[in-house]
Structure 1
Amino acid sequence: MDNDFLATTTARFAVPGAAVGVFHDGEERFFSHGVTSLENPLPVDEDTLFLLGSVTKTYTATAIMRLVVDGRVALDSPVREHVPELRLADGRECTVRQLLNHTSGLDWGTMVSTGEGDDALRRHVEELATLKLVGEAGERPSYSQAGFNLAGRIIENVTGQTYEQAITTLLLEPLGLRNTHFDRDAVMTRRFAVGHEKGEVARPWRHWRANNPGGGIAASVADVLRWARFHLGDNGLEEMRRPTAVLRGSNLGDAIGVCWFLREIDGVQTIGHGGSSNGQFAELLIVPSRNFAVVSVANQGPDGIPFNQAVVRRALESCLGVVDRDPEPLPYNASAASEVAGGYANDAMVMTIGDTGSGLVLEVLIRPEIRESAEVELPADHAPFPMGLLPRDEYVLTSGAFSGQRGFFSRDASGAVVGVDLAGRTFGRVR
């Protein structure tokens, strides 16, 4: 890993600005390239703030674990013990652990802003009464932003502080993470990156406050690497690395611990989490057995994801000799293609899998009614992605911004395809 590789890779993916941190052999190394914004450019360095998106979930889960260690929360206690105001569509009960490993059965989330006041999470919990349920609690993983926002409300009710204040008290101040922030006023008085979509500045900079527990942190790669080193240390949080739910057909990992995605790469066990916000992307990977961590952040969509993947793979190979490769798809089969082609949907998005006669193409769009009702501008939809089938009803995207993304199809008792998973999110078949 070096600055020449970073410069070449940012050019390859047309990323305006990026920063990378690597911890290896007991040393921290930082690499940066490009600018914070195409409209108001400043050089990116290791102290530039980037939105971490869902990497924030690791902070939320760690704060919950701190409360568990203190005896104030039990992982297998019902969520309603800590959030008595919670009402779900079917009177659903789920546990704290099921929120943190995405097995609560809650759909991805709501697209309703509940404002920027200190009551944002409380009001968000009220909205969850309308949220679709995608399975029984504990049945299987399905990635849920709403679940982590609800975990943030647990933290508020248990500590008596706002979520952001509690994270600061429990984690940021004790760990000396002085360049990690939620508040826009704190961010705007420091050097920070803005997102881009296909060469244009992406607005808004971030979405509403109720999404903070699942994706609201802005931090420098220096601080994120310090965060990774905390998780490499002897911190009493080993429970977070133990598998709690198996993942199938997922490039996120082989299993989920308490928030962390657990994955074996080239025979080596890793933990990690990625994140995306409006035109900003982050990837954090930790190899506990090698005392190694790498974080990569970029400010351009849709290619920030493959950019970060390329950086992480380079760091793994150059530092540890660990090689990460995408699986090879099966040859096109018309009968297999016809089984999966068609429409799928969840609360937020619709998916179409088309059969071209020589291959399959997957397209995912934000629901038109959600775009129309959104109080802020939502990210642009992506162009369709070529995809190939894998054994055991799995698939892989073969090119485009999400090349290498894996998922799988679900069947009913009769053997008919009734659903598809993409990036840990469940889509039901539409007939």
Structure 2
Amino acid sequence: MSHEALPEFVEATAAKFGVPGVSVGVWADGREVHACHGVTSVDDPLPVDRDTLHLLGSVTKTYTATALMRLAERGRIELDAPVRRYVPELVLADEEAASRITVLNLLNHTSGLDWGVIADTGEGDDALAGYVAEMARLEPIGRPGDRASYSQAGYNLAGRIIEKVTGLPYERAVASLVLKPLGLSRSFFAPSDVMTRRFAVGHDRGEDGTLSVARPWRHWRADNPGGGIASSVADQIRWARFHLGDGRAQSGDRVLSAGSLRRMREPTVALRAGSPGDALGIAWFLRDVDGVTTAGHGGSANGQFAELLIVPERDFAVVSLSNAGPDGIPFNQAVVRWALQSYLGVDDHDPEPLPYDDARAREIVGDYENDAMTFTVTTEGTGLRLEVLIRPEIRATANVELPADHAPFDFGLLPGDGDEYVITGGAFRGQRGFFTRDAGGAVVGVDLAGRLFNRVSPAPA
């Protein structure tokens, strides 16, 4: 594959999806190549380059997990130990769960914690401690270890473990454990560090198609362990190469053992529906794509989106960063799929849904919710539609501007008896999930992108 084809594809795809600024990086055949296009902001445009900082959202979780693995290698924590060994003040709505959740449960999303609490606990060094106190009102979605359900709260709690064990604020601890040893010189948490360098802002697309700058640029500090880092595409390729390697930094210094890196990519819990993966390792979503095993993580901030994928057996990595919602999501997906096909000959495609079935549709139509969002399934003619919205009471009482909601999406059920589905239109095209049933066979929940929504309205008679 000619590396010269990458910039052409990136420019054409950014234009297709109307994304103002993008940064893409590929590591293949022992060579690093970048393709950057567009501007940092429609209001104050500067060219995007390989050093431009983008918010990575949940890709940050790979940093939090790696920092904890370093602490585990040093004997400072045990992954199978209860969280309360390190955060004894933890209080949850379910006392038994609070006593049983382990560090590993946080890292592979099997804690039984719901998505998270929306709480601005300030910008001081006590922000995470305040967030953990707010978790007392977080209802469980299941018992620890029973199933995977993506939890921002779990990773913020993992960040608090890092603080308690090191005696440092989370951000300083991660800089010491990960960023500085690996030479990630353009990766930061603090807005004061970011604002002195070139950085991208997020954008939202209005109903008339016009892009506007998304505000705030980032949310509260307490969300940093699960989604707060800003980084460049060049640093992300360096990060990917570390996870593809033997645990040494490019300087040659040992940062983590090769065994610990491999352990992070070994399945710890199976996932259904294949999206965002077939299994979870430690932080990484693991997926078989056309016969090769990939490890990856996506992320979303306010109008900014990131995708990082590595293929260890082929020493390959691709990073895609974009700054418009929701169109940055299909842009990133298109880039990753093109790179897999063009460099490795690996074909990643969406499954074909079944024709519309009225009887099955009646089983799933209704309202579902978790602690932060609602999920509504309706029928449209002879098709199914879903709509995911921030819960209205949260939007009404939030003291910050929240991301815009997006239009409903068409979806279809997949073959088999697993109640799986795939989104067939819009920005989330290709995302897969599944419905869950109780012992009597009634549909009681739905998963999307690893997040559980419980049913709150019965199926029509």
Give the TM-score, by structure 1 length. 0.99
Deviation at 1:106, TM superposition (A): 0.2
**CA–CA distance in 1 between the matches of 2:444 and 2:139?**
17
Aligned pairs (5 A) from 1:8-407: 8-91=12-95, 92=97, 93-198=100-205, 199-235=211-247, 236=257, 237-391=261-415, 392-407=418-433
Residues 6-45 of structure 1, C-alpha deviation per residue, up to 9 Å, x if partnerless? 1110011110000101000111000010000000000001
Q: Which residue identity is paired with 1:136?
A: R
Cα distance between partner residues in 2 of 1:406 and 1:303: 18
**8 Å contact from structure 2 (residues 435, 447) kept in 1:** yes
User: Following the alignment from structure 1 to structure 2, what is the Cα–Cα distance between the partners of residues 224 and 86?
Assistant: 33
Deviations 1:93-120 (A, max 9, x none): 2000000000000000011100000000
Aligned partner letter, 1:400: G
Give the match for residue 10 of structure 2.
6
Question: Partners of 2:221 and 2:274 in 1: how far apart?
Answer: 29
SS state at 1:2 partner: helix
CA contact (8 A) 1:284 1:295 kept: yes
TM-score (norm 2): 0.93
Q: Distance in 1 between matches of 2:412 and 2:152?
A: 28
- State how far apart, in whole Å, the 1-side matches of 2:274 and 2:177 are: 32
Write out the 4+ residue segments of structure 1 that deviate beyond 2 Å after TM superposition.
Answer: none
SS of the residue 1:355 aligns to: strand
Which deviates the most, 124-133 or 230-239?
A: 230-239
Aligned partners of 1:10, 1:354: CA distance in 2, in Å? 32
Give me the CA root mean square deviation: 0.7
In the TM superposition, residue 357 of structure 1 has moved relative to its aligned partner by 3.7
Distance in 2 between residues matched to 1:173 and 1:375, nearest whole Å: 35
Deviation at 1:318, TM superposition (A): 0.6
Identity of aligned residues (%): 67
How far did residue 356 of structure 1 move? 2.2
User: Quick one: distance in 1 between partners of 2:94 and 2:288?
Assistant: 37
Kindly state the Cα deviation for residue 250 of structure 1 after the two structures are TM-superposed. Answer: 3.5
Whether the 8 Å contact between 1:225 and 1:294 is mirrored in structure 2 is yes
Q: Which residue is equivalent to 1:410? A: 436
Amino acid at match of 1:322: V
Tell me the secondary structure at the aligned position of residue 23 of structure 1: strand
* Distance in 1 (alpha carbons) for counterparts of 2:288 and 2:6: 25
Amino acid across the alignment from 2:352: E
> Does the Cα contact within 8 Å between 1:148 and 1:214 map onto a contact in 2?
yes
- 5+ long unaligned stretches in structure 1: none
Distance 2:376 2:413 in 1: 15
**Alignment deviations for residues 196-254 of structure 1 (CA, whole Å, 9 cap, x no partner):** 00111000000000000000000000001000000011122211011000000142110
Q: One-letter code of the match for 1:396?
A: V
Aligned residues: 431
List per-residue Cα deviations over 1:170-206 (Å, max 9, x = no partner).
0111100000000111100000000000111000000
